[in-house]
Amino acid sequence: MSDIAENNIRCGFVALVGAPNAGKSTLLNQLVGTKVSIVSPKVQTTRTRVLGICIAGQSQIAFIDTPGIFAPKRRLDRAMVAAAWGGASEADDVVLLVDASKGITRDTEEIITRLKDTQSKVILALNKVDQVKKPILLDLAAKLDAEGVFSDVFMISALKGNGVDDLLAFLAARAPEGPWHYPEDQISDLPDRMLAAEITREKVFLQLKQELPYRITVETENWEERKDGSVKIDQLLFVQKDGHKQIVLGKGGQQIKRIGAAARRELEEILDCKVHLFLFVKVRESWEDDPERYRHWGLDFNA
């Protein structure tokens, strides 16, 4: 017997799919034990595929967080949905997250239809059980089970952590045998520069109202590690109109200051050092139609 079989070493890729806001990124962060994917109450916060890696016993599992799957209208939407299905097709296992407090929505119905076409069995995770009464939950589980696409059903709260360990143990036990793909201490495939930009984008989502966050993108321009152990990070916020720029800056620059302060606090926690964060707002009307921005996120411009 080989070493791997003898030691029962396993490594698997698991895609987390689901409608926008189902809690995929929250689950990823809960699994990894730290923030690797940003979360907000707004739909479509996650723009690209993010990998979160965790170890359970002898198994290494790389979870692929995907943008939500929904009916796409604009180019960026199409690219995000394509990335989501791309994530699912690369994986050994697929976990469909359903927001139990919302029941079976149109988006979820469409995802199930498409999963039926792919013929592979999917693991169902009914999420946000902390918000739903038991009888409603059981009823929903029965309805979804009747679709015939699910091999197993888990009830979890990605936010509070209930049921998450059971789900992880289950996935770890059935991951394919084989050596680990990533170093033991790696928890994400997102480079620090990109994670830093994502953190700022999350604060934009949390602090700006309505549609504006969707019209903004953030890129890290410069990253400088200083002799005193601190890091200086320069980031560009691209907006599409001068009016948007004024809102992002706020009166006397107060809004951008608040965004920067929140992002810096979190970055200092993650990087465990002092951070000097400088944010610059630039108007670029057509960033959503710029192939360069898509390449930057690993999205397909022509999806």
39 forms part of the interface with ligand GDP (CB under 6 A): yes
Q: Contacting ligand GDP (CB under 6 A), which of 69, 159, 164, 196?
A: 159
The distance of closest approach from Cβ of residue 98 to ligand GDP in the complex, given in angstroms and rounded to an integer, is 10
* Shortest spacing between CB 25 and ligand GDP, in angstroms: 3
Tokens of 251: 């009166």
- Reduced to 3 states (helix: H, G, I; strand: E, B; else coil), residue 254 is helix
* Minimum distance from residue 53 beta carbon to Mg ion (Å): 17
Is 22 among the residues that bind ligand GDP (CB under 6 A)? yes
Residues between 125 and 154 that touch ligand GDP (CB under 6 A): 127-128, 130-131
Min. distance of Cβ 40 from Mg ion in angstroms?
8
Q: What is the CA radius of gyration of the chain?
A: 20
| Interacting partner of 213 out of Mg ion, ligand GDP, none (Cβ under 5 to 8 A depending on kind) | none
- If binding is defined by CB under 6 A, does position 68 make contact with ligand GDP? yes
Tell me if 29 contacts Mg ion by CB under 5 A. no
Choose among ligand GDP, Mg ion, none what residue 130 binds, the Cβ cut-off being 5 to 8 Å by kind. Answer: ligand GDP
3-state helix, strand, coil in the chain (%, to 5): 40, 25, 35
Q: Which residue in the set 46, 217, 235, 255 belongs to the binding site for Mg ion (CB under 5 A)?
A: 46
26 is a contact residue toward ligand GDP (CB under 6 A): yes
| Paired residues of 280 in beta bridges | 236
Q: How many residues bind Mg ion (CB under 5 A)?
A: 3
Rounded Cα distance between 33 and 13, Å, is 18
Q: At residue 185, what is the residue type?
A: D
Q: Give the span between the Cα atoms of 249 and 257, in whole angstroms.
A: 8
Nearer to ligand GDP, 65 or 219 (CB): 65
Do 113 and 147 meet the contact criterion of CB atoms below 8 Å apart?
no
- Binding partner at 264 among ligand GDP, Mg ion, none, C-beta below 5 to 8 Å by kind: none
Name the residue number minimizing CB distance to ligand GDP. 23
| DSSP characters over 185-236 | T--BSS-HHHHHHHHHHHHHHHHS-TTGGGG-EEEEEEEEE-TTS-EEEEEE
Contacts of 273 by beta carbon, 8 Å cutoff, 6+ apart: 229, 230, 231
| Rounded least distance, CB 78 to ligand GDP, Å | 17
| Residue of 10, 14, 17, 21 interacting with ligand GDP (CB under 6 A) | 21
Q: Which does 26 bind (CB under 5 to 8 A by kind): ligand GDP, Mg ion, none?
A: ligand GDP
Cα distance between the two ends of the chain = 45
Q: Which stretch binds Mg ion (CB under 5 A): 43-51, 53-61, 96-104, 190-198?
A: 43-51
User: Rounded to whole angstroms, how far apart are CA atoms 157 and 51?
Assistant: 20
25 binds Mg ion (CB under 5 A): yes
Give the integer Cα–Cα distance in Å for 31 and 14.
Answer: 12
Least distance between ligand GDP and beta carbon 216 (Å): 17
Instruction: Report which of 35, 65, 30 is spatially closest to residue 50, judged by C-alpha positions.
Output: 65
Q: By the 8 A CB rule, do 180 and 60 touch?
A: yes
Q: Are 22 and 68 in contact (CB under 8 A)?
A: yes
Chain residues that interact with Mg ion, rule: CB under 5 A: 24-25, 46
The residues binding ligand GDP (CB under 6 A) are 18, 20-26, 39-41, 45-46, 68, 127-128, 130-131, 157-159
